A and B are shown apart, each in its own frame.
Chain A
Amino acid sequence: DGGITQSPKYLFRKEGQNVTLSCEQNLNHDAMYWYRQDPGQGLRLIYYSQIVNDFQKGDIAEGYSVSREKKESFPLTVTSAQKNPTAFYLCASSIRGLAGVGELFFGEGSRLTVL
């Protein structure tokens, strides 16, 4: 089945450690996105990539890094510079960059807790 796979589902990290969240899609979509959800807030865009080897900062990119070496994969690294990393992270993809009029397809999310 085509879709988006995020891993791990749950992750615990000690303060000061970097952690990488995986996102893989087999939908042949050009664009991929990372969102963050915090209680009582809407989804906020961290980074997005419209094409392989290209990515752009979203609204809350500080303390995060990404790479897009393959069309299928868009891993997100939460660095120790991210001041409040405990959150729920969602990866999404769309056929066109920034969705155009195309819908977003989402993974099931990764919950990161910093101890």
Chain B
Amino acid sequence: ILNVEQSPQSLHVQEGDSTNFTCSFPSSNFYALHWYRWETAKSPEALFVMTLNGDEKKKGRISATLNTKEGYSYLYIKGSQPEDSATYLCAFNRNRDDKIIFGKGTRLHILP
């Protein structure tokens, strides 16, 4: 059974602080790693799709890194803002024709 593990499950961060969380996946076969942000009462939306070991991607204050050899990805948020409060989902697939497997998510709460 392939598992995608995300940690922590939940996180409270003071507004203005920076934070990061982890996604772990099986390193034996790898095709792509996805990060999604899911705000309450909205649709999940894609942040990044990464395919290459060592990939680093950035969108505004949010960035992500990928290590396919050891099977992990980090998501970083710099200078947290209230609008960053959401559940962050990590998803992984082993090859192009395989289904995407989701982790349970990290629930981020930004404290004013």
What is A's interface to B at a CB cutoff of 8 Å?
4, 35, 40-45, 48, 58-59, 90, 97-109
B104 in contact with A41 (CB, 8 Å): yes
What is B's interface to A at a CB cutoff of 8 Å?
4, 31-32, 34, 36, 41-46, 49, 51, 89, 91, 93, 96-105
B99 in contact with A107 (CB, 8 Å): no
17 A-B pairs in the complex with CB atoms less than 8 angstroms apart: A42-B102, A42-B105, A45-B99, A90-B43, A98-B98, A98-B99, A99-B34, A100-B96, A102-B49, A103-B46, A104-B34, A105-B43, A106-B36, A106-B44, A106-B45, A107-B43, A108-B41
Q: Tell me the bound Cα distance from A42 to B25 in angstroms.
A: 14
Q: Tell me the bound Cα distance from A35 to B99 in angstroms.
A: 12
Contacts of A99 in B (CB 8 A): 32, 34, 93, 100
Could you count the A-B residue pairs with CB atoms below 8 Å apart for me: how many are there?
61
A42-B104 CB under 8 A given contacts A98-B97, A106-B43: yes
| Interface residue SS majority, chain A | loop
What 8 pairs between A and B have smallest CB-CB spacing? Answer: A103-B46, A42-B102, A43-B102, A106-B43, A42-B104, A106-B44, A101-B32, A100-B96
Determine the residue in chain B with the shortest Cβ distance to A59: B99
